[in-house]
Structure 1
Amino acid sequence: MLITYKSSCDGNLEKIGHFEKDCWINITAPLKEELIEVSELYNIPIEFLEDPLDLEESARIQYDEETECTLIINDFPIIDENTHAFDSYITIPIGIILGKDYVVTVCNQSSNSLENMIKKNVNTSMKSRFALEILLSFSTLYIEKLKLLNKQRLKIESHLRDSLTSKQLYDLMEIEKSLVYFLTSLKANADVITKLFRTKSLTLYEDDKDLLEDLKIENNQAIETTELYTRILNSITGSYSSLISNELNKTMKTLTLFTVFLTLPTLVFSFFGMNVTLPIADKDPFSWIITLVIALVIVIWIGFALWRRRML
């Protein structure tokens, strides 16, 4: 899908049906033919349009001297569609291409951040600032998603105090996976932001430099928050792993003690139940009571010994 926008006199973005100078071309999940058409029409290297569509593409900034186009690739979070019962996240790349007369964004999926840009008062003729505003909106999106992940973690943690189930542990694993995606992408985005400070292919005015500084601060805040939540989650999972091991040890100890106490009477009864003549067999018809007393004395003696060793 390809939609072209341009800022009006009052600063609002309006859809236009054809190419105009200082426009914004938003490309989402395009066909191969659409990429070739845009590449030929706007003199953009075809790889600049194809690379952001690769989900494994790393964040970077690249300049093409022949076409004088600058490509900025950044990662942003989206909900993982493979997880239906729980909102976990992955990150995918988006490409921002800055040419002489246009700004092009290329992505595999639509983003709420880009849709929100349409509602803002932006100026597409100021291409560098417009690109920085897009990047800033994605950094803000990370922080919003981190807050949602933290709320989910707190909810799971409150349930863990009552009962521990496999589903809750799997949900914590999904949160941990999301944080790993976030941290990896945010650090890669930080490298791109650092390069933007010294790149010569972009013209940055004083207001643009202030915006770039805000972008750096926002991205660093997202990194620090992600690292904090990761440490908290690792601490929680480690603690509950210790609790699970402790409960398992208690269970095994209880079963072992039951086995010991049940085995002792069995040994006594087996001895007196052998098909041999015993001294007490003919003297007292109630000699079986003596068997019970012997078994009971042995059980009490072993129980007292275990109690003295604090095993009970």
Structure 2
Amino acid sequence: MLNIYKTSADGILEPIEQFEKNSWIHITAPSKEELREVSHRCNIPMEFLEDPLDLEESARIEYDEETKCTLIINDFPIIDVSNLQFDSYITIPIGIILGTDYIVTVCNQSTNSLDHLIKKNVNTSMKNRVALEMLLLFSTQYIEKLKLLNKQRLKIESHLRDSLTNKQLYDLMEIEKSLVYFLTSLKANADVITKLFRTNSLTLYDDDKDLLEDLKIENDQGIETTELYTRILNSITGSYSSLISNELNKTMKTLTLFTVFLTLPTLVFSFFGMNVTLPIADKNPFSWIITLIIAFIFVGWIGLALWRRRMF
């Protein structure tokens, strides 16, 4: 899908039908024909349009001397559609291409991430400023998604205090997976931001540099928040793993004690049930009472020994 936007003379960002100078072209899950058309009309290298479509593509900056185009690949978060029962997130790349007359964004999947930018009525003739606004928007989204993940973690944690189920553990695993995606992408984006401070392919004015500083602060905050939530989650999972092991040990200990106390009377009764001559006459009416007393003596003796060892 291909959409074209341009800022009007009134400063309003409007969709247009044709390729025009100083317009913004947004491509989502494009076909080969659309890529070739954009490459030809905008004088953009084909690989600049194809690379961001690879979901495993790493964040980076690249400059083409021949066409004077700059490619910025940045990762941003989206909901993981493979998990329908829990709102977890993954990150995918988006390409921002700054040409001489156009700014082009290309992404493998449709997203509403840029809707806020469209409502903001950015000036498409200021291509570098628009690119920085996009990068800042992506960094802000990380913070928003992190807050949502933390709310879900707190909700799961409150339920864990009442009962522990496999679903809750799986949900914590999904949160942990999302945090791993976020931390990896944020650190890669941080390298891109650092290179933006040093690159000569982009002309940055004072307002652009201030925006770049805000972008760096927002991205650093995202990294710190993600690392904090990761440590908290690791602490929680570690604590509950210890609790589960402790409860299992208590259960096994209880079952072992029951087994010991039930085994001793069985041994006594089995001994006196043999078809051989025994110290207690089988015709004595008090034989069963004597047998019980012997069994209870063994149980009491073992119980006292275990109590002294603080087994219970």
Q: Report the TM-score, using the length of structure 2 for normalisation.
A: 0.98
- Root-mean-square deviation (CA, aligned residues, Å) is 0.9
Is the deviation greater in 105-114 or in 263-272? 105-114
Aligned to 1:26: 26
Over 6 Å off, 4+ runs: none
CA distance in 2, matches of 1:112, 1:142: 14
AA at the equivalent of 1:83: N
Structure 1 residues 41-190: aligned runs within 5 Å: 41-190=41-190
Q: CA deviation at 1:286?
A: 2.9
Q: CA deviation at 1:121?
A: 2.3
Q: CA deviation at 1:256?
A: 0.4
Q: CA deviation at 1:264?
A: 0.3
Name structure 1 gaps, 5 residues minimum: none
Conserved 8 A contact 2:70-2:99: yes
Helix, strand or coil: the match of 1:254?
Answer: helix
Aligned to 1:198: 198
AA at the equivalent of 1:71: L
Could you report, residue by residue, the CA deviation over 1:140-164 in whole angstroms, capped at 9, with x for unpaired residues?
A: 0000000000000000000000011
Q: CA deviation at 1:282?
A: 4.5
Quick check: 1:247 aligned with 2:247? yes
CA distance in 1, matches of 2:60, 2:279: 94
CA distance in 2, matches of 1:68, 1:279: 108
CA distance in 2, matches of 1:222, 1:162: 32
Helix, strand or coil: the match of 1:112?
Answer: coil
Aligned to 1:228: 228
Aligned to 2:294: 294
Give the length in aligned residue pairs: 312
AA at the equivalent of 2:195: K
AA at the equivalent of 1:178: S
Helix, strand or coil: the match of 2:114?
Answer: helix
Q: CA deviation at 1:135?
A: 0.4
Identity over aligned pairs, percent: 85
Could you report, residue by residue, the CA deviation over 1:170-211 in whole angstroms, capped at 9, with x for unpaired residues?
A: 100000000000000000000000000111111100000000
Q: Report the TM-score, using the length of structure 1 for normalisation.
A: 0.98
Helix, strand or coil: the match of 1:226?
Answer: helix
Conserved 8 A contact 2:42-2:101: no
Helix, strand or coil: the match of 1:277?
Answer: coil
Conserved 8 A contact 1:113-1:134: no
Q: CA deviation at 1:275?
A: 1.2
